[in-house]
């Protein structure tokens, strides 16, 4: 087998890192290449809607437009930040509380965890679809019960009401991703050593003190991990909102990714659209670096390398 001989040759001659080349080449082709292409396009006037704009170099015009003349972008940016802060904090509090209850009071949790996993395994598009059905104004099941308990007035549909739509979208994201926080925090709680807690009990610490002074500090790395992962994911949110509202009514739920989609694939303004796309990329890259520093590097050592090791 020639594959085997090549593989063996590489490994035996101590040039094993060459095995990384295929992955890196693929990623350069599908990711790094497009990335630099996007950066280049962001300095041009490329548009598929106007035939005279074929991609001539504009210098910093697009960036000037972004900074000075595009209040919609910055409105969308603020909306996205609010969305991220809302979903991450609600999901964290609910998810952690649920994990604590499960950890302390339930012995056979396997079935519960299986049930909780369902929302997060669903394709986000399907989640959008399911909730669109549940929230239909005239026959939606959830709308009906909300009306029954007096939380919704007769005619209003949550998804077409500019004031209610954002909290609704937040609630749907919370529905889907709170279980993720629960699973991760539960795994964290189960991995904690018992000795510190036992020592604290011996010292007569109350349950609250034990939680604040022992459990929380020990869990700090996992808390950082879960907040950052959810934060990055929420910042990129597209699928659910696209199906549920398409960014509307008006621009009430137009998150950055939806706005960027609109500029590129509705207005076909690819030059300026690339500028917006680049901004989104920058924010995620920064969050990603923070994630890596916070979670995988401690005391100047990559803990990621040991993350799998016993």
Partner 1 sequence: MSRAWTAFAVAVILAGVLIALTPYVWILMTSFKTRLDALADTPVWLFTPTFEHYPDVFLEKNYLPLVWNSVLVATLSTALSLALGVPAAYVFARHEFPAKEDLFFFFLTTRMAPPISVVVPMFLLFTTFRITDTPLAVILAHSTFNLSLVVWMMRGFFAEIPREIDEAAMMDGHSRAGMFVRILVPLAAPGLAATAVLCFILSWNEFLYAFVLVAFEGRTLTVGIPGLITPHGTLWGQVAAVAVVATLPIILFSLLVQRHLVRGLTFGAVKG
Residues in region 132-161 near partner 1 by CB under 8 A: 132-134, 138-139, 141-142, 144-145
Candidate segments 70-78, 85-93, 111-119, 194-202, binder of partner 1 by CB under 8 A: 111-119
C-beta of 306: minimal distance to partner 1 in Å? 7
> How many residues contact partner 1, by CB under 8 A?
104
**Is residue 204 part of the contact set for partner 1 (CB under 8 A)?**
no
Number of C-beta neighbours around residue 74 at 10 A: 11
Q: 79, 102, 169, 214: which one contacts partner 1 (CB under 8 A)?
A: 102
Annotate each residue in 16-35 with x if it binds partner 1 (CB under 8 A) or - if it does not, as one string: xx-xx-xxx-xx-xxx-xxx
Q: 60, 265, 266, 298: which one contacts partner 1 (CB under 8 A)?
A: 265
**Is residue 241 part of the contact set for partner 1 (CB under 8 A)?**
no
| Residues between 57 and 96 that touch partner 1 (CB under 8 A) | none
Q: 53 and 270 in contact (C-beta within 8 Å)?
A: no
How far is residue 109's CA from residue 38's CA, in Å, rounded to a whole number?
47
Which residue has tokens 């890196």? 24
**Is residue 49 part of the contact set for partner 1 (CB under 8 A)?**
no
C-beta of 189: minimal distance to partner 1 in Å? 11
Three-class SS of residue 301? Answer: strand
C-beta of 73: minimal distance to partner 1 in Å? 13
**Nearer residue to partner 1 within complex by CB, 119 or 196:** 119
**Is residue 245 part of the contact set for partner 1 (CB under 8 A)?**
no
C-beta of 34: minimal distance to partner 1 in Å? 4
Partnered with residue 302 across adjacent β-strands are 297
C-beta of 78: minimal distance to partner 1 in Å? 18
Partnered with residue 298 across adjacent β-strands are 301
CA-based Rg of the chain, rounded to a whole angstrom? 24
**Is residue 225 part of the contact set for partner 1 (CB under 8 A)?**
yes
Tokens of 96: 């952690």
**Is residue 286 part of the contact set for partner 1 (CB under 8 A)?**
no
**Is residue 200 part of the contact set for partner 1 (CB under 8 A)?**
no
Buried b (16+ CB within 10 A) or exposed e, 251-260: bbbbbbbbbb
Calculate the CA 279 to chain-centre distance. 16
Calculate the CA 272 to chain-centre distance. 24
- Residue 298 host element (H or E): strand 297-298
C-beta of 40: minimal distance to partner 1 in Å? 9
Partnered with residue 44 across adjacent β-strands are 57
**Is residue 125 part of the contact set for partner 1 (CB under 8 A)?**
yes
Q: How far is CA 172 from CA 73, 241, 280, in A?
A: 24, 10, 23
């Amino acid at each position: 087998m020639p594959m085997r001989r090549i593989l063996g040759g590489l490994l035996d001659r101590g040039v094993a890192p060459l095995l990384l080349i295929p992955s890196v080449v693929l990623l350069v082709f599908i990711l790094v290449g497009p990335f630099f292409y996007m950066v280049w396009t962001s300095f041009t006037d490329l548009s598929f809607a106007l035939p005279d704009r074929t991609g001539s170099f504009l210098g910093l015009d697009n960036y000037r437009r972004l900074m000075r003349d595009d209040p919609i972008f910055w409105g969308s940016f603020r909306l996205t930040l609010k969305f991220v802060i809302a979903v991450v904090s609600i999901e964290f509090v609910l998810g952690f509380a649920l994990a604590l209850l499960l950890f302390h009071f339930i012995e056979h949790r396997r079935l519960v965890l299986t049930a909780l996993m369902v929302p997060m395994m669903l394709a986000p598009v399907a989640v959008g679809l399911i909730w669109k059905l549940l929230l239909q104004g005239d026959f939606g099941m959830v709308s009906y019960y909300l009306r029954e308990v007096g939380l919704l007035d007769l005619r209003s549909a949550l998804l077409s009401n500019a004031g209610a739509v954002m909290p609704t979208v937040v609630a749907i994201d919370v529905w889907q991703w709170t279980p993720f926080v629960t699973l991760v925090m539960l795994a964290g709680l189960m991995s904690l050593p018992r000795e510190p807690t036992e020592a604290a009990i011996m010292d007569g610490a109350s349950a609250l003190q034990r939680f604040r002074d022992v459990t929380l500090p020990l869990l700090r790395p996992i808390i950082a991990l879960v907040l950052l992962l959810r934060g990055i994911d929420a910042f990129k949110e597209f699928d659910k909102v696209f199906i549920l509202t398409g960014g509307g009514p008006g621009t009430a739920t137009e998150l950055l990714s939806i706005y960027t989609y609109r500029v590129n694939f509705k207005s076909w303004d690819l030059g300026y659209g690339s500028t917006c796309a680049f901004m989104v990329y920058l924010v995620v890259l920064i969050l990603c670096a923070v994630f890596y520093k916070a979670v995988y590097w401690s005391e100047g050592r990559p803990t990621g390398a040991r993350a799998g090791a016993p």
